[in-house]
A and B are shown apart, each in its own frame.
Chain A
Amino acid sequence: MTVSDDQTLLSRRKALKCMAFGGAGTLFAITGGVFTPIDLAAAAGDKRLTAGLGKPLFVQISDTHIGFNKEANPDVNGTLTRTIDLVNAMSEQPALIIHTGDITHLSKPAEFDAAQQMFSRLRTTEMHTTPGEHDTADATVTEYFSRFGKASDNKGYYSFDHGGVHFVALINVLQFKPGGLGTLGPDQLAWLADDLKGRTSSTPIVVFAHMPLWTIYEPWGWGTGDADQAVGLLRRFGSVTILNGHIHQIVQKVEGNMTFHTARSTAFPQPAAGTGPSPGPLKVPADQLPGMLGITNVLVVERPRSLALVDTTIA
């Protein structure tokens, strides 16, 4: 499948309509920052939807919440197992797995151990992580870092390169602005400026953090108070993909050459912003749950050179 010229001419109105109905499997090819949505529900029966489209670069897994056992999903191990089976069944394996946080529900050692045991079944063995606030909820804030802190020298932020793409992991769950938004903090922002300084603007950039790097809904803390400073540093690049978790549903935004995208959880959905009294787990009938859980595949499309995001549920 290729992205045809006709499809790049889709109006913004049509694009938004497609996003609204894109629950089952919608592809967003990003070309020069413009979303080109293609409804894949009508495509062939392969629900993994990656064959022929591009080369799998990485799969984003988020909000696995191992340890959660409430009504919204009494079997989060089971839904993570189905997720891992889905990834392992991809005909071409991604080079990397990126976990955007809330690996565990309560930061307990047994939860981290169980999660790592399950992740060890992934055929793709290179995994990069950033913690969620549920991973740093132990009194000493050590459980996450003792397992995953090496890449960042226990700071939580780090970068690496793969396949010509520069990846940046940010952490926004350790400090908070009054009122509840996440914070990157001056040290991390200074590091980011330095990390990006020598790079050419044609380098594709993928940034990942747990909490959204734009304000989706402030009363529930769905945003990062000083994200604008990070976004300002990224603005000169020709292709920037900013991936987050935290809100257990897909929300996306395009701003210039930057695409912001939040992933589904593998554990339970959360209500849309501002619907209901709190952002707690959303209880849905058991047969609807798998259709609200899933992963984001990120593929490299060669012509035109771009990254494509494909959201896939475990249903």
Chain B
Amino acid sequence: MAAAGAVLLGLGGFEALSAAQAADPTRIVVKNFMFQPMSLTVKAGSTVTWTNMDEEPHTVVSSSGLFRSNALDTKDSFSFKFEKAGTYGFVCSIHPQMVGTIVVQ
């Protein structure tokens, strides 16, 4: 946790998100055309929230079709509740080189 906070402070530009929020185990920040972290492990029943901190819009689209956000403008968020254990891939449909994974235990 301490290491993650230090990394975020080093990047700068995160004034809207405190280190505590960024370290939230159910939160993914979209920054510099990357999902951060790229892989997140949560317990079944958890709600994961993605927040776009880029100037560019992004989307969060499940590879299996389970969920799909609208376009997220700067500081917009999208949440999805994961009920069942499994591995869930997702991609930004606007910049599909951006990929990530949620592991639900």
Contacts and interface: CB of A to CB of B under 8 A. Distances in A.
Interface in A70-87: 70-71
Interface stretch (B2-10, B18-26, B65-73): B65-73
Interface string B64-105: 000011110110000000000000000101111111000000
Interface residues of B, number: 21
A136 to B, nearest CB: 7
A274 interface: no
B70 A138 contact: yes
Q: Classify the secondary structure of B's interface with A.
A: loop
* Interface core residue of A106, A182, A281 (most chain B CB under 10 Å): A106
Nearest to B78: A139
A134 B96 CA distance: 12
B60 to A, nearest CB: 10
Contacts of A279: 33, 95
B97 A137 contact: no
Interface in A95-127: 105-108
Contacts of A138: 70-71
| Interface size range on A against B | 20 to 34
Contacts of A186: none
A180 interface: yes
B51 interface: no
B54 A134 contact: no
Contacts of A181: 96
Contact of B94 (A70, A137, A140): A137
A280 interface: yes
A56 interface: no
B70 A137 contact: yes
B32 interface: yes
B57 A280 contact: no
Interface of A: 70-71, 105-108, 133-134, 136-140, 173, 176-182, 219-221, 277-281
24 contacts: A70-B55, A105-B57, A107-B70, A107-B71, A133-B96, A134-B57, A137-B93, A138-B71, A139-B70, A176-B91, A177-B96, A180-B95, A181-B96, A220-B97, A221-B97, A277-B32, A277-B33, A278-B32, A278-B56, A279-B33, A279-B95, A280-B33, A280-B54, A281-B55
